[in-house]
Structure 1
Amino acid sequence: MNKEKRLEILTRLRDNNPHPTTELNFASPFELLAAVLLSAQATDVSVNKATDKLFPVANTPEAIYALGVEKLKDYIKTIGLFNSKAENLIKTCKILIEQHGGQVPENREALEALPGVGRKTANVVLNTAFGWPTIAVDTHIFRVSNRTKFAMGKNVDLVEQKLLKVVPKEFKVDVHHWLILHGRYTCVARKPRCGSCIIEDLCEFNEKTSD
């Protein structure tokens, strides 16, 4: 895909949604970190249902650590992999308390050192909580980038590298959210809804649908 097409795609996505953000409910960097940690292999809807009950009771590292693993599990048991996620979140809270004064560090290396936090989660936190121009490539972004031929790569790391290279600076902070939302609601996995897509004429997918 050429530079002109990419620019037009990004412009249309921006015009359609000038101020995109995550669909996870959060009111602080720690709430975002906790929600993203819980969202692995789970829907944002299911995570929000759990955190809407958890956060009014405990929404700081100190408060969640005080709950303990078993009580935390009661709040998040409707989420997939809740046992390991509870263990990781408690361990993360302990590290935040002991090493970072109870604050979420604005530092990639420190974030990736937290249990259950990988590069993708760190990218989401740095982008959404702190405004960094990072791009967290999940299954939606990986699919949209390859299917449209916007930024092709054989794995998520290669797609991230390509996106960072081809997306102009003015779009970098928001492109993560635009592509996720596009993949979640329009360029869906089984049968993309090409007929209702605002970038259909620019997309280089060869098997477009009429939906």
Structure 2
Amino acid sequence: MNHNIRFEIFDRLRSENPHPKTELHYSSVFELLIAVLLSAQATDVSVNLATDKLYKIANTPKQILELGEENLKQYIKTIGLFNSKAANTIKTCKALIDNHNGEVPNTREALEALPGVGRKTANVVLNTYFKQPVMAVDTHIFRVANRTKIAKGKDVREVEDRLIKFIPKEFLLDAHHWMILHGRYTCTARKPKCGSCLIEDLCEFKEKIVD
């Protein structure tokens, strides 16, 4: 795939959705961080159902620490891996208070040092809240990047690096959200909706499904 085709793909995605946003509910960078931490191997819908209730009771590091791990579990028990996520959330809240005056840091290194926060979670926070042109590659983006041939890669990091390299700079800030939404609703895993796809004629997927 060449530069002109990639440009046209993202130009169309931008025209359809000029201001893409995450589907996670949040009103502060801390709420976003915790929501993303909870979203690993879980749907945004399930996370929102839990955090909509949790954040009414506790939505700062101090308040969640005071809530305690066992009580926190009661709010997030419908989310997969809730036991380990509760433990990491409590540890992260403590680290934020001890090391960052209760504030969420805006560097990858500091974010990745937080318990339960890996590269993908850090990238989501950096991109979504701090507006840094980084790429958080989840299963949807990994699939879309490889299937369309926008950026082929054997693993998540290779796809991330190639997306950063190949996506035209003017689209890079919003590319994460365009690609994740495209993968979630159009370029789905089992049966992609190629017949109604905005970029079907530009995509290099050889097994297109056109109903």
Superposition TM-score tier, normalisation by shorter sequence: over 0.9
Q: Which moved more, 1:164-173 or 1:174-183?
A: 164-173
Structure 1 residue 169 displacement after superposition: 1.6
Question: Do structure 1's residue 37 and structure 2's residue 37 form an aligned pair?
Answer: yes
Structure 1 residue 3 displacement after superposition: 0.8
Q: How does 1:28-177 map to 2 (within 5 A)?
A: 28-177=28-177
Distance in 2 separating the partners of 1:103 and 1:21? 23
Structure 1 residue 168 displacement after superposition: 1.6
TM-score between the two structures when normalised by the length of structure 1: 0.99
Q: RMSD between aligned alpha carbons?
A: 0.5
- Aligned residue for 1:42, secondary structure, equals coil
Distance in 2 separating the partners of 1:27 and 1:97? 19
Quick one: which amino acid aligns to residue 105 of structure 1? P
Distance in 2 separating the partners of 1:187 and 1:169? 23
Quick one: which amino acid aligns to residue 176 of structure 1? H
- Aligned residue for 1:55, secondary structure, equals helix
Structure 1 residue 77 displacement after superposition: 0.4
TM-score between the two structures when normalised by the length of structure 2: 0.99
Name the residue aligned to 2:204. 204
Quick one: which amino acid aligns to residue 83 of structure 1? N
Name the residue aligned to 2:194. 194
**Structure 1 gap segments, 5+ residues each:** none
Quick one: which amino acid aligns to residue 73 of structure 2? K
Structure 1 residue 21 displacement after superposition: 1.0
Distance in 2 separating the partners of 1:53 and 1:95? 24
Distance in 2 separating the partners of 1:129 and 1:55? 18
Structure 1 residue 103 displacement after superposition: 0.4
- Aligned residue for 2:187, secondary structure, equals coil
Whether the 8 Å contact between 2:24 and 2:47 is mirrored in structure 1 is yes
**Structure 2 gap segments, 5+ residues each:** none
Q: Which moved more, 1:166-175 or 1:9-18?
A: 166-175
Distance in 1 separating the partners of 2:44 and 2:73? 18
Whether the 8 Å contact between 2:6 and 2:168 is mirrored in structure 1 is no
